[in-house]
A and B are shown apart, each in its own frame.
Chain A
């Protein structure tokens, strides 16, 4: 299995990030009455990501940026791009559960309750968009971001578009983008660390201007990558 570099969020932290699904849409233009027919022939689109406001105040930050710029080879090498989505995660965090009478242990801790987790219920084919997901310690309402780490195409990012129903802790949902690879029953659905394999949108995307030889403000745009080379992490 291919291993990819991962964007060091802790070191090169964007002040803002913008994610979107871009598709190949064409139109025949408007009719006299203002009606136009829109055609999408891209099969559901691909992810794009903009990291803005990456403030580099230390030497390790600037050097990490330069190193990544070199290693990504202008978009030939793939990288896993994570997103900071924990505030919107549907899963409960790990927490201490007290005794039945509400008291804790002497050191102030309780029984450790596991963080939430999720997995597919049933197997689904390549490009499926209607799936069932079992969510332990969490609630889906739509708009949640998750990742499936496919064995063939690496981690891929998806969004829950609609929740059609829930039976127990199994949710029947519509997702976008279509599944990038088939999944098996019980395959993990990762809501905790959404990420996707991407590449630089343009070859000079990471050209960096260093102010006064001391600090720099960076911005970078990625697009989802397919069939791209990887560097060992």
Chain B
């Protein structure tokens, strides 16, 4: 099933010259709205995803890397890392960087596309391509070479509702630990001879 961008939008996408904006929205308490690769601000008309009238999407760096967004079926989809450069000095970048993992994890993430006409006015409504859930957020800084400035990137991991869920941690019993609790308890004194095929990860 192809995505319908409307008659004007489809005609533009089939042409040799495309004007568009890639938008990201993280539904934190104060939503983080960023226009990936954009300059200055962009206000989009409200819809069922962006419900705030006059919401401003702030221009932010450029997409460094983004995996393929697989169709979400039965709540399952691969986690996708969206890495954006230019973060840290832009307002939206700072907003993303300042949002801690606790704030962003499990929050809804929407990726949208807005098309522009020849006069850079938005064609129709924003087309929201994907809705995911934030799982990880990470920032990196690469040293500049030869006088170039350092490059800061923000990487946002987005997946399905189940991506960030964890099974209960495997509990490892040792005789030494048990004897610290109860010195005469011999309940685990033979446990080192057993192997359940598990590896302890710290």
- Residues on A facing B (Cβ under 8 Å): 23-24, 35-46, 74-75, 125-130, 153, 174, 177-178, 180, 202-204, 224, 226-227
Contacts and interface: CB of A to CB of B under 8 A. Distances in A.
B148 interface: yes
21 contacts: A23-B39, A35-B16, A38-B16, A40-B19, A40-B20, A41-B19, A41-B36, A41-B37, A43-B35, A45-B39, A126-B42, A126-B43, A127-B43, A127-B121, A129-B120, A130-B119, A174-B119, A203-B149, A226-B90, A227-B89, A227-B90
B80 interface: no
Given A41-B37, A42-B37, A43-B40, A226 B59 contact: yes
Contacts of B90: 226-227
B18 A40 contact: yes
A44 B17 contact: no
Given A40-B19, A41-B22, A46 B39 contact: yes
B38 interface: yes
Nearest to A35: B16
A43 B38 contact: yes
B46 to A, nearest CB: 14
Interface centre among B16, B59, B119 (most CB of A within 10 A): B119
B34 to A, nearest CB: 13
A178 B120 CA distance: 7
Interface string B16-55: 1111111000000000000111111111000000000000
B148 A202 contact: yes
Interface centre among B16, B20, B59, B120 (most CB of A within 10 A): B120
Contacts of A40: 17-20
Contacts of A174: 119
B91 interface: yes
A226 B40 contact: yes
B175 interface: no
B147 interface: yes
A78 to B, nearest CB: 12
A173 B116 CA distance: 19
Nearest to A204: B147
A29 B22 CA distance: 20
A143 to B, nearest CB: 17
Given A126-B43, A227-B91, A41 B147 contact: no
A188 B175 CA distance: 82
Interface centre among A37, A41, A46 (most CB of B within 10 A): A41
Contact of A202 (B36, B38, B41, B149): B149
Contact of A43 (B16, B39, B147, B149): B39
B62 interface: yes
A75 B21 CA distance: 26
Given A35-B16, A202-B147, A227-B91, A42 B39 contact: yes
A43 B40 CA distance: 8
A24 B63 CA distance: 11
Given A24-B62, A203-B149, A227-B90, A126 B41 contact: yes
